[in-house]
C-alpha cells in the first residue's frame, strides 16, 4: 500500500474543533464534508482530525429569545464554554457550524485564544473572487436583519446585499427552525425559497448566499439559475485548507 497515498504528517494536520448542534442536521454535513475533502485530497483512508462539541439545541431556545431582545449574555457564555471544551481537547482552530452564531466569532477567539474561522470572511472572499457585486442573502432573521452579516459584506468587501422583505424573511426563518433544523425537507418549501430568489434576481441579484448552514439541505445549484454560495461547503473546505496548511 505504500506509495498509494500522499504522506501527511500528523503535525501538519491541525485539530479542528467544531461547535455544532445548532442544528445537528447541518453539523452532520460539516462532519461528512470535511472527511470527504480529506479523502479526496490525500487518499481513501484519510479523514479529518477533528473534535465536535454538540450544543443541545433545545436548551438554546430561551437564550435565543434573550438574544433577539438584545441580551447576548447567556448565549455568549454557552458559546465560549463550548470553545473552551474544544480547546481543552486540543483544538488548534475552531469552526462555528452556524452562520448566525459566527456573529460571536471574534469574541470567542479573544476569550478562548484559539483561531476561529469566520464564515462571513470566507464567503465574502469567495464572492469577490467570482467577480459578482450584487448578492442575495438568505438566512435566519437574525442573519438577514442584524448588523453583523450584511454590513460586513458591504463595508469589508464592497458588495451590495439584497435581503428578502419582511414576509419572506419570516417564511424563510420558519422553514429553517420548523423543518430544516429537524432534517425535514419539503418540496413546497424548496419552491417557496426558489420563488424568493427569483424575485430578488429580478432586482439585480447576481448570486445568492445560502447564509444558514441548514439551507443547503433544501436548495442546491440545480434549483436556481444564478450562482449559489453554499456556506456549509465553503466553511468545511476552508477548515481543511487551514488545518493542512504549513
* 174 and 88 in a common domain: no
Beta strand 115-116 with 93-96 is parallel
pLDDT digits (tens, 9 = 90+) for 39-54: 999 988 899 999 999 9
The pLDDT of residue 75 is above 90: no
Indicate whether 94 and 130 sit together in one domain.
Answer: no
The string of pLDDT tens digits covering residues 81-136 is 999 999 999 999 999 999 989 999 999 999 999 999 999 999 999 999 999 999 99
Give the model confidence (pLDDT) of 171-223 as tens digits.
Answer: 999 999 999 999 999 999 999 999 999 999 999 999 999 999 999 999 999 99
Q: How many domains does the chain have?
A: 2
**Cα angle 123, 28, 108; round to 5:** 55
Q: What is the pLDDT of residue 45?
A: 85
- Asked if residue 8 is part of any domain, the answer here is no
| Cβ burial, residue 91 (10 Å; 0-12/13-18/19+) | buried
Residue 156 structural domain: 120-230
Q: What is the CATH number of the domain that holds 239?
A: 3.40.50.1860
Amino acid at each position: 500500500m505504500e506509495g498509494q497515498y500522499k504522506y501527511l504528517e500528523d503535525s501538519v494536520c491541525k485539530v479542528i474543533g467544531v461547535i455544532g448542534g445548532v442544528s445537528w442536521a447541518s453539523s452532520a454535513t460539516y462532519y461528512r464534508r470535511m472527511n470527504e475533502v480529506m479523502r479526496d485530497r490525500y487518499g481513501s483512508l484519510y479523514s479529518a482530525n477533528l473534535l465536535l462539541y454538540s450544543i443541545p439545541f433545545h436548551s438554546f431556545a430561551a437564550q435565543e429569545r434573550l438574544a433577539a431582545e438584545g441580551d447576548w449574555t447567556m448565549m455568549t457564555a454557552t458559546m465560549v464554554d463550548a470553545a473552551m471544551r474544544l480547546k481543552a481537547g486540543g483544538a488548534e482552530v475552531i469552526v462555528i457550524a452556524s452562520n448566525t452564531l459566527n456573529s460571536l466569532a471574534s469574541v470567542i477567539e479573544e476569550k478562548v485564544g484559539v483561531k476561529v474561522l469566520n464564515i462571513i470572511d470566507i464567503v465574502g472572499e469567495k464572492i469577490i473572487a467570482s467577480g459578482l457585486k450584487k448578492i442575495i442573502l438568505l438566512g435566519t432573521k437574525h442573519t438577514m436583519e442584524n448588523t453583523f452579516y450584511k454590513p460586513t459584506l458591504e463595508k469589508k468587501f464592497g458588495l451590495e446585499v439584497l435581503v428578502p422583505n419582511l414576509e419572506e424573511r419570516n417564511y424563510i426563518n420558519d422553514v429553517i427552525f420548523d423543518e430544516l433544523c429537524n432534517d425535514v425537507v419539503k418540496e413546497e418549501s424548496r419552491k417557496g425559497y426558489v420563488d424568493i430568489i427569483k424575485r430578488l434576481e429580478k432586482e439585480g441579484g447576481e448570486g445568492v448566499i445560502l447564509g444558514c448552514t441548514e439551507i443547503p439541505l433544501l436548495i442546491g445549484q440545480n434549483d436556481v439559475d444564478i450562482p449559489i454560495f453554499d456556506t456549509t461547503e465553503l466553511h468545511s473546505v476552508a477548515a481543511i485548507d487551514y488545518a493542512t496548511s504549513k
